[in-house]
C-alpha cells in the first residue's frame, strides 16, 4: 500500500472549504448525528475528505484521511472556543 503525502499544513483554501461544508451541513457540524446515522456521518466525512484532498493538489495543502480531517475539525473547534473564552475573560475571571 503506497500513500503519497504532501504537506501536513492545511491551506487557507482547504479551511475555507471545510467551513463552507460545515455551514451547508449544520446538523453534521454540530454533531447532532445519532447512533443510527453513524453511516451517514462517515459518508459525509469521506465526501469532505475527497473535496479537501482534491483542493490539496491545487493549493499545495494537506492530504488527510477522513479520520484525520475529523480530528482537525474538532481540535480547531476546541481551540477556537478556548480563544473566544480568553478574549471574553482576558484576566481568567468569569
Q: How many whole angstroms separate alpha carbon 6 and alpha carbon 21?
A: 22
Q: How many whole angstroms separate alpha carbon 30 and alpha carbon 23?
A: 10
Count of positions (residues) in the chain: 94
pLDDT tens for each residue of 45-57: 999 999 999 999 8
Residue 80 is predicted with a pLDDT of 67
The SS3 of residue 21 is helix
Using the predicted structure, report yes or no on whether residue 92 has a pLDDT greater than 70: no
Contact assessment for residue 92 and residue 44, using Cβ atoms and an 8 Å cutoff: no
pLDDT tens for each residue of 44-89: 999 999 999 999 988 889 999 999 998 888 787 766 665 655 566 6
| Predicted TM-score (pTM) of this structure | 0.70
Residue 1 is predicted with a pLDDT of 42
Q: In whole numbers, what is the pLDDT of the chain averaged over residues?
A: 78
Amino acid at each position: 500500500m503506497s500513500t503519497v503525502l504532501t504537506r501536513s499544513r492545511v491551506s487557507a483554501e482547504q479551511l475555507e472549504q471545510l467551513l463552507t461544508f460545515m455551514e451547508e451541513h449544520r446538523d453534521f457540524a454540530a454533531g447532532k448525528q445519532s447512533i443510527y446515522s453513524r453511516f451517514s456521518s462517515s459518508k459525509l466525512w469521506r465526501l469532505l475528505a475527497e473535496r479537501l484532498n482534491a483542493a490539496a493538489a491545487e493549493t499545495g495543502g494537506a492530504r488527510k484521511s477522513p479520520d484525520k480531517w475529523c480530528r482537525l475539525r474538532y481540535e480547531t473547534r476546541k481551540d477556537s472556543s478556548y480563544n473566544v473564552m480568553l478574549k471574553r475573560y482576558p484576566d481568567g475571571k468569569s
